[in-house]
Structure 1
Amino acid sequence: MTSLTERAEQHANGTAPAAPAVPMYTAPPAGEPLPYLDFEDNEAYPTPEMVPVHIAWLRVRHDVRSVAKSDQHKEKDRNTGREYVKYNFRGIESALNAFGPATLRHGVNVLAVDMTTSYRDTTSSRNNKMREATIVTTWQIIGPMGDSLPLLKSAGESLDSGDKGTAKAQSLALRALLFNTGMIPTGDPEPEAAHVERGEAPVRSANDYRDEIVNPKTSLGRLEQISYELGNARMLHVLVTNEHGDEETLDALGMRHYQERKAQLEGGAS
């Protein structure tokens, strides 16, 4: 076993032994998960090809391709108590699930080599005591031959009422490194693909919301979002004429249709 220095000298003098031939890995089609890696089975888990780190990292990117915003941040409506999806995002688990198998397959290590932290006490919008953690991490990406990319930095910031702030900020710094350095797209359509004119958004009427609620094509997620919009517009208790010709508040109408469609979906799944 030779050291990194000895191997570097061998490459410089041209006396380095030729890398052993190993089977080339063929990445699965985009969107399909990578196969399970069995460390006990050398055929299922071939030795990574001895290539420079920038080539190995390029192959990692080729395997990952894209990671969708499949994680959801949910909040409760203060008026109805129902949960709704506020926004979608790509969390640290999505990053690790995508990059973990690919970096193993191509012999790439991602190591944190330095970390700078800062903390401050603050309060939330509800006047709860919180602690803000900010972490700047220096990373080293090492390839299968022992060479590495230039040192990279990424930052993470979190708010927490307990002792998890540092771990959250570390996770965010790692997520930023993987997605930004990997230049991994979400697969979402281009934001500017549709023509949008500047101007104030028109205020929707109660009847507009009623028509959308009773439309059988309106999804459960959209019904949750409508409840949030109605709460912000203070329209939850506005009376409208429902599909049966009776008067009903928008809140009650939305809740009824949400429960009916949810029951239909659960009944169909069973």
Structure 2
Amino acid sequence: MGLRENAAAAAGRTPVSTEQAVNAVGVLPAPNLSEPDLGDLSKDAEAAPAVVAWSRVMGEVRAIGKDQRFDGGNAGRFNFRGVDLALNAFGPACRKHGVVVAPVKIEPQYRDISTKNGGVKRECTVLVTYRIFGPAGDYFDTQAAGEASDSGGRSTPKAQSIALRTLLLSAGLVPTEDRDADAMEFERAESPVRSAASYVDEICNPHTSAGRLRQIHYELNSTRQLGTLVTNEVGEEEQIGAMVVRIGKERAAGGGQ
């Protein structure tokens, strides 16, 4: 007689099988969860400092793609790497190399925010200090921040999950294997050249400084417009370059700036 039968007999009950129990309550037994075999710790790994052990974990997690899709309607759609993907990648590797990641300090901040539908959500911004232990018992600390909002009291765990994901992806230097954004090439459009006529009012303005007049002359010279004819302050045609020089000299002679 097994333990189950002994316990049932001691309690004055008739023992039932697992199948009978499942049929009685309509539930299935927990699945047999197994983890991929990543090998045993070697003597070298057991003595490795925390930073060395963490680097070995990084070596196990080569890439995590942005395979999860967020569809926020008007808020936008984008692909992302969620905390579950990060944990599924780092969990086995950390256990293989004897690494423990534990939060040792949590600093949350809260505020209420209004939604466009007139509702109110609680926003949590959290800064978490994590301690990464190696197999030898030494450790190093690092930090990660997370932010989330929720109307049902779950903003804090959401923010902490985001902080953990941020830690694993950033401290683990995990690439996405996406195309490098710097690999994209583009040509800048040429800036439109300001016309000579558009400078006339500024040149004639008595409040335009001598320094600005010199700058205008430089701009006109760089765009090869010094010889362009414009209508000056007395209604006559004059080359704009000569006009700038003349007005600058007149103001200097009259004591203007």
TM-score range for the pair, normalised by the shorter chain length: 0.5 to 0.7
Structure-1 residue corresponding to 2:40: 46
Tell me the equivalent position of 1:134.
125
Rg bigger for which structure? Answer: 2
2: distance between equivalents of 1:131 and 1:157? 11
TM-aligned CA deviation for residue 36 of structure 1: 2.6
In the TM superposition, what is the alpha-carbon distance from 1:139 to its structure 2 partner?
Answer: 0.6
* Partner in structure 2 of residue 195 of structure 1: 185
- Give the Cα separation in 1 of the matches to 2:161 and 2:50: 24
User: Per the alignment, in what secondary structure is the counterpart of residue 169 of structure 1?
Assistant: helix
Shift of 1:196: 2.1
- TM-score, reference length from structure 1: 0.53
Correspondence for 1:112 among 85, 103, 119: 103
Q: Deviations over 1:158-210 (max 9, x none)?
A: 011111100100001101111111111111011121212346xxxxxxxxxxx
SS in 2 for 1:57: helix
Alignment of 1:47-126 (within 5 A): 47=41, 49-50=45-46, 51-76=48-73, 86-126=77-117
Find the residue that maps to 1:145 and give its secondary structure. coil
d(CA) in 2 for partners of 1:186, 1:59: 19
Q: Which residue among 126, 133, 147 is the counterpart of 1:157?
A: 147
Superposition map of 1:174-189 within 5 A = 174-189=164-179
What letter corresponds to residue 144 of structure 2 in structure 1?
Answer: S
SS in 2 for 1:69: coil
2:161 is the counterpart of 1:171 = yes
Give structure 2 stretches of 5+ with no counterpart: 1-33, 190-257
CA distance in 2 between partners of 1:57 and 1:119 (Å)? 33
| Structure 1 gap segments, 5+ residues each | 1-34, 39-43, 79-84, 200-270
Taking the aligned partners of 1:77 and 1:183, their CA distance within structure 2 comes to 32
Distance 2:108 2:61 in 1: 30
Corresponding letter in the other structure for 1:52: P
Cα deviations by residue, 1:121-175 (Å, 9 ceiling, x for unpaired): 11123322111001111110000110112x1111111011111100100001101
Preserved CA contact (<8 Å) 1:37 1:45: no
Does residue 36 of the first structure (1) align with residue 35 of the second (2)? yes
When residues 130 and 193 of structure 1 are mapped into structure 2, their CA distance, relative to the original with a 3 A threshold, is same
In 2: Cα distance, 1:197 partner to 1:100 partner: 44
Root mean square deviation of aligned Cα: 2.1
2:188, 2:117 → 1: CA distance? 34
Aligned residue type for 2:117: R
For residues 140-151 of structure 1, the aligned pairs below 5 Å read 140-149=131-140, 151=141
Alignment identity in percent? Answer: 40
